[in-house]
């Protein structure tokens, strides 16, 4: 049976095995999908061993996405621009590296949440790996404007410069949080890791335009702190990143198996489990 896995450190709490098992059942694909713990200094060794034992592909998570980028012998344009790889596919004489995170985000926004990104004014909070991975797919969906705001303004400015050639007709700019005062957005995406430390990006009030959506790449039971703060600031709708998790998995599954799974029942089941936990 074809073998796949998610590799990371830590990995025990990954939901990817459950998601891919559901996709495989639903599409009738015969495959096995495991969770693989790699030592922090043993990523390449772990990947080589998995491949030697029948591995066909891997999802890659913290802290190995940059190492996976380096390991790939061929990369998709979206992986090149993301500067990180979350999906590896083993071919006869090559290792293909892809990044499905940003496409997963866009699909969650458009297909699951019904938001038309074309013409949108988007605010992206953060300038780390999560933000960079989202930029190409977001710009490809033709927003009117995309602002990158970050605590360290220089990092946001560097990303805006890097992606300027991909902006098309969109206005792409960068700033710090203070400079957002008085501006309005249709979509605000939290791609900072602030909530891991129990913090929130210090945002000025009044950011949400009428009907705006606040989206947190983090997920959990009920509202995340970012979602709660967004509601209090007048966001019409809020969403967490569970849909992005399922959609990036579906993108990887489609790359490996050439069959697109139906994400809706898988997302609904995960939501039920998280809400009931
Ligand atoms: P990831 O891969 O999750 O994006 P990262 O590359 O470490 O992780 O980036 C973390 C992002 O969260 C950065 O944009 C960081 O801001 P700085 O570049 O200024 O460090 C942001 N971040 C982390 N903690 C934050 C906090 N308490 N308030 C605001 N932003 C924060």
What atom of ligand 1 comes closest to residue 62's alpha carbon?
2
Write out pLDDT tens, residues 102-159. 999 999 999 999 999 999 999 999 999 999 999 999 999 999 999 999 999 999 999 9
Could you tell me if the CB of 152 is within 6 A of ligand 1? yes
Q: Which residue ranges form the domains of the chain, and what is each CATH number?
A: 2-99+243-275 (3.40.50.10860), 102-240 (3.40.50.720)
Residue to substitute in 105, 128, 196 for testing ligand 1 pocket (most ligand atoms within 8 angstroms of CB) = 128
Tell me the C-alpha distance between 85 and 75, whole Å: 8
Q: What percent of the chain has pLDDT over 70?
A: 100
CB neighbour burial string for 3-28, b if at least 16 within 10 angstroms, e if fewer:
bbbbbbbebeebbbbbbbebbbeeee
Give the pLDDT score at 95: 98
91 Cα to the center of ligand 1, angstroms? 35
Token couple for 271: 């939501």
CB of residue 179 inside a 6 A radius of ligand 1? no
The residue whose CA is least distant from atom 27 of ligand 1 is 194
Atom of ligand 1 nearest to the CA of 127: 14
Q: What is the pLDDT of residues 11-48, one digit of tens each?
A: 999 999 999 999 999 999 999 999 999 999 999 999 99
Say yes or no to pLDDT of 277 above 80: no
Here the tokens at position 37 are 């713990």
Q: Check residue 243 and give its pLDDT.
A: 98
**Average pLDDT over every residue of 214-236:** 96
Q: Ligand 1: which residue has its CA nearest to atom 16?
A: 151
Q: How far is CA 150 from CA 7, 76, 113, 252, 261, in A?
A: 29, 27, 25, 29, 35
Q: What's the mean per-residue pLDDT of the chain?
A: 97
Q: How confident is the model at residue 225 (pLDDT cuts 50, 70, 90)?
A: very high
Ligand 1 nearest atom to the CA of residue 130, by list position: 4
Backbone angles phi, psi at 73, to 5 degrees: -95, -15
Q: Is the Cβ atom of 127 under 6 angstroms away from ligand 1?
A: yes
Cut 0.85: pTM above it: yes
Does the CB atom of residue 102 touch ligand 1 within 6 A? no
Q: Is 192 in the pocket of ligand 1 (CB under 6 A)?
A: yes
Q: Which pLDDT belongs to residue 71?
A: 98
Assess whether 65 carries a catalytic annotation.
Answer: yes
What's the pLDDT score for residue 198?
85
- Average pLDDT (195-218) is 96
Distance in Å, CA 247 to ligand 1 centroid: 23
Distance of alpha carbon 228 from alpha carbon 240, whole angstroms: 11
Instruction: Indicate the pLDDT class of residue 178, thresholds 50, 70 and 90.
Output: very high
Per-residue model confidence as pLDDT tens digits over 74-99: 999 999 999 999 999 999 999 999 99
Catalytic residue among 65, 78, 107, 121: 65
């Amino acid at each position: 049976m074809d073998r796949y896995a998610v590799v990371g450190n830590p990995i025990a709490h990954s939901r990817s095995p459950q998601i891919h098992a559901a996709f495989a059942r639903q599409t009738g694909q015969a495959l096995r999908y495991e969770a693989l713990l790699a030592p922090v200094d043993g990523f390449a060794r772990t990947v080589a061993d998995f491949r030697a034992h029948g591995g066909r592909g891997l999802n890659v998570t913290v802290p190995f996405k940059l190492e996976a980028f380096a390991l790939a012998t061929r990369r998709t344009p979206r992986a090149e621009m993301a500067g990180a790889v979350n999906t590896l596919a083993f071919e006869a004489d090559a290792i293909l590296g892809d990044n499905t995170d940003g496409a997963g985000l866009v699909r969650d926004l458009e297909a699951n949440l019904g938001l038309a990104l074309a013409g949108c004014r988007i605010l992206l909070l953060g300038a780390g790996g999560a933000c960079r991975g989202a930029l190409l797919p977001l710009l490809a969906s033709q927003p009117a404007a995309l602002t990158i705001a970050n605590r360290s303004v220089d990092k946001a400015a560097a990303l805006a410069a890097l992606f300027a050639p991909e902006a098309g007709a969109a206005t792409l700019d960068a700033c710090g949080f203070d400079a957002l005062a008085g501006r309005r957005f249709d979509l605000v995406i939290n791609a900072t890791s602030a909530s891991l430390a129990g913090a929130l990006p210090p945002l000025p009030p009044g950011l949400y335009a009428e009907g705006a959506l606040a989206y947190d790449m983090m997920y959990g039971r009920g509202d995340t702190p970012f979602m709660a703060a967004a509601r209090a600031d007048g966001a019409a709708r809020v969403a967490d990143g569970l849909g992005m998790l399922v959609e990036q998995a579906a993108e990887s599954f489609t790359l490996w198996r050439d069959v697109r799974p139906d994400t809706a029942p898988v997302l609904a089941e995960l939501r039920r489990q998280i809400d009931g936990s």
